[in-house]
Amino acid sequence: MTLEQLDTIASSSTFQNPAVQRWNEANQRTDYDVAIVGGGLVGATLACALKESGLQVVLLEAKPQSEAVARGQAYHINLLSSHIFEGIGIWETMCPGVNPIDQIHLSDAGDAATVQFVPKDLGTDVLGYVAEHRVLLEALRQRLCECSNVTYLCPAALVKTSALKTGVALDVLQEGDVKHLQARLLVAADGARSPLRHQAGIRTRGWQYWQTCVVAFIKSEKPHNNIAYERFQPAGPFAILPLPNNLCRIVWTAPKAEVEAIMALDDTAFLSALTQRYGEQMGTLELMGDRAVFPTQLMQSNRYVLPRLALIGDAAHCCHPVGGQGVNLGIRDAAALAQILQAAHQQGDDIGSLRVLKRYDRWRRLENVIVLGFTDTLNRVFSNSLLPLVILRRLGLWTLRTLPPARWMALKLMTGLSGRAPRLAQGIKK
Ligand SMILES: Cc1cc2nc3c(=O)[nH]c(=O)nc-3n(C[C@H](O)[C@H](O)[C@H](O)COP(=O)(O)OP(=O)(O)OC[C@H]3O[C@@H](n4cnc5c(N)ncnc54)[C@H](O)[C@@H]3O)c2cc1C
């Protein structure tokens, strides 16, 4: 049904279809409690998590739906994120496109011994999951359609904001027209370069790494057996993540000049270089689609909140891809912020006030800095040929191989099961 048809039907006074009523209301409403800017995985998770909050939410995404869904990325989804998706009620929808991780093999180049993590180390059924971006985003968008309190505008870009006495005025560009909206709270889920963070004058700390990242999908001759590999080379970590249909995602981190050389290889030479890294255990490898390069950086915002503004996901922090933690931190931010906003709303507090938002800042900024520090240390200690560091990491790997409590502690951090779990992840929605 086209929008024009919906409009015609909606103008009939006897028509009672709820979908039409929602479409009409969504296009007439200009006043919201929460405006989320950025409909990536993190912004969409927050919108879905606010389903039963009693708050009116608008979610803005600048890119057309087809373009945003088609991003050729795949992620390690840790256990906590899977629990949050379960709490939101979309994990079942995601499951057919998600691959479990049954084992993680961790090794250091030049050392034959491997640390093998298995679910028994943690007392869980699996160690995590891997999924493509489109699988996750499509499930979230499907859920958004069922959230009667969420208006999803896409493509729609926030172009201007100005402060009001008890909220924020927003100019939103949609189909060539500027819509004027207002909200009590603005949430920046607009990615690592966050224009909203810049406009608000929130400073960040961090650095670009000397490495960049080559990512690619490959298919192997032999089954991947749901094993994820993290192999540390002096140039940088090299990860293989198992996907459905025996596909794998390669995340190959190396110094920038080396990555340029890798990208200059033709497909046959690239696959041969990959086989050298990979080992022969997977048989012949086939490249599926194009290779892509991503910069790597560590970034932490000095604050996550200001009056009427909260930062979540990459807008607030970014980390090195080792361990695949980035999007998981953002999903946890979204669940934590939803919990705080819902509780504040139920108590009659102003959800955009600094007093309320500081609860989110206190909760998430420290937890995120621990993971940022962990990934940074891991990368620096392993991407190095200095003898004291080689000795230190061999000692670390020996400890992980021989002491089950050490494996348990490492897995708690990587799976997101350490720290304060949002209520959504505990199956308690209210
Ligand atoms: C090579 C690589 C591998 C990675 N692997 C993993 C992994 O295995 N596991 C993991 O957890 N993480 C991984 N990450 C990190 C992960 O990709 C990011 O943390 C995650 O995508 C951030 O999501 P986000 O929603 O915060 O931001 P984004 O995905 O950047 O979304 C921001 C959205 O905001 C929209 N937007 C921006 N400005 C406006 C505006 N003015 N109006 C409206 N919309 C706007 C944009 O169009 C965009 O869709 C990896 C990253 C890299 C580079």
Handedness of CA 379, 383, 389, 392 (dihedral sign): positive
Pocket test for ligand 1, best of 60, 75, 187, 372 (most atoms within 8 A of CB): 75
CA 314 / ligand 1 centre spacing (Å): 6
Which ligand 1 atom is at minimum distance from the Cα of 330?
A: 26
Domain count, the chain: 1
Q: Evaluate if residue 332 carries a pLDDT over 60.
A: yes
The mean pLDDT value for 384-410 works out to 91
Concatenating the DSSP letter of every residue in 298-312 gives EEEES-SEETTEEE-
Which residue ranges have their beta carbon within 6 Å of ligand 1?
Answer: 37-43, 60-63, 68, 73, 75-76, 157-158, 189-191, 195, 213, 215, 251, 294, 313-314, 321, 324-328, 330
Nearest by Cα to 241 from 327, 315, 323:
323
pLDDT at position 428 is 46
Q: Which two tokens stand for residue 250?
A: 């390669």
CA 346 / ligand 1 centre spacing (Å): 31
Say if 252 falls within a structural domain: no
At a CB cut-off of 8 Å and minimum separation 6, what does 191 contact? 38, 40, 313, 314, 315
Q: In CATH, what number is assigned to the domain containing residue 10?
A: 3.50.50.60
Say if 284 falls within a structural domain: no
The mean pLDDT value for 369-391 works out to 90
Say if 267 falls within a structural domain: no
Beta pairing partners, 163: 168
**Segment 48-60, tens digit of pLDDT:** 999 999 999 999 9
pLDDT at position 385 is 85
At a CB cut-off of 8 Å and minimum separation 6, what does 405 contact? none
Kindly state the percentage of the chain with pLDDT values over 70: 93
Q: Which residue has the higher pLDDT, 11 or 329?
A: 329
pLDDT at position 191 is 98
> What is the chain's mean pLDDT, rounded?
91
Say whether the peptide bond before residue 155 is cis (omega within 30 degrees of 0): yes
Question: Helix or strand or coil: residue 403?
Answer: coil
Q: Which residues constitute the domain of residue 29?
A: 3-206+298-426
CB 187 within 8 Å of CB 46: yes
How many whole angstroms separate alpha carbon 311 and alpha carbon 38? 11
CA 40 / ligand 1 centre spacing (Å): 6
Which ligand 1 atom is at minimum distance from the Cα of 157?
A: 42
Q: Which residue has the higher pLDDT, 421 or 21?
A: 421
CA 222 / ligand 1 centre spacing (Å): 32
**Segment 353-369, tens digit of pLDDT:** 999 999 999 999 999 99
Q: Evaluate if residue 380 carries a pLDDT over 80.
A: yes
Place of tokens 């479409």: 23
Reported as a pLDDT band with limits 50, 70 and 90, residue 66 is confident
Q: Which two tokens stand for residue 79?
A: 């256990």
The mean pLDDT value for 182-196 works out to 98
CA angle 406, 410, 411 (to 5 degrees): 115
Q: Evaluate if residue 287 carries a pLDDT over 90.
A: yes
Say if 245 falls within a structural domain: no
pLDDT at position 265 is 96
| DSSP state at residue 364 | H
At a CB cut-off of 8 Å and minimum separation 6, what does 337 contact? 46, 187, 310, 312, 360, 364
Nearest by Cα to 158 from 36, 313, 68:
36
Question: Helix or strand or coil: residue 372?
Answer: helix
Q: Which residue has the higher pLDDT, 426 or 338?
A: 338
Fill in the amino acid letter for 116: Q
| CA torsion angle 425 55 333 344 (round to 10) | -90
The mean pLDDT value for 15-26 works out to 50
**Segment 198-222, tens digit of pLDDT:** 999 999 999 999 999 999 999 999 9
Q: Which two tokens stand for residue 274?
A: 């990959």
Q: Which two tokens stand for residue 380?
A: 């620096």
pLDDT at position 383 is 85
Q: Are strands 204-220 and 285-301 parallel, antiparallel or unpaired?
A: antiparallel
CB 160 within 8 Å of CB 195: no
pTM of the model: 0.92
pLDDT at position 70 is 79
CA angle 334, 336, 339 (to 5 degrees): 110
Reported as a pLDDT band with limits 50, 70 and 90, residue 403 is very high
pLDDT at position 390 is 87
pLDDT at position 302 is 98
CA 171 / ligand 1 centre spacing (Å): 23
Residues 287-299: b if buried by 16+ CB within 10 A, e if exposed: beeebeeeebebb
Say if 268 falls within a structural domain: no
Pocket test for ligand 1, best of 314, 317, 368 (most atoms within 8 A of CB): 314
Reported as a pLDDT band with limits 50, 70 and 90, residue 25 is low
The mean pLDDT value for 385-392 works out to 88
Concatenating the DSSP letter of every residue in 12-27 gives STT---HHHHHHHHHH
Q: Evaluate if residue 4 carries a pLDDT over 70.
A: no
Reported as a pLDDT band with limits 50, 70 and 90, residue 376 is very high
Phi, psi of 372, rounded to the nearest 5 degrees: -60, -45
Handedness of CA 51, 57, 58, 59 (dihedral sign): negative
CA 191 / ligand 1 centre spacing (Å): 5
Place of tokens 């989320």: 36
CA 402 / ligand 1 centre spacing (Å): 37
Reported as a pLDDT band with limits 50, 70 and 90, residue 22 is low
Q: Evaluate if residue 377 carries a pLDDT over 70.
A: yes
**Segment 220-246, tens digit of pLDDT:** 999 999 999 999 988 999 999 999 999
**Segment 132-160, tens digit of pLDDT:** 999 999 999 999 999 999 999 999 999 99
At a CB cut-off of 8 Å and minimum separation 6, what does 409 contact? none
pLDDT at position 384 is 84
CB 139 within 8 Å of CB 93: yes
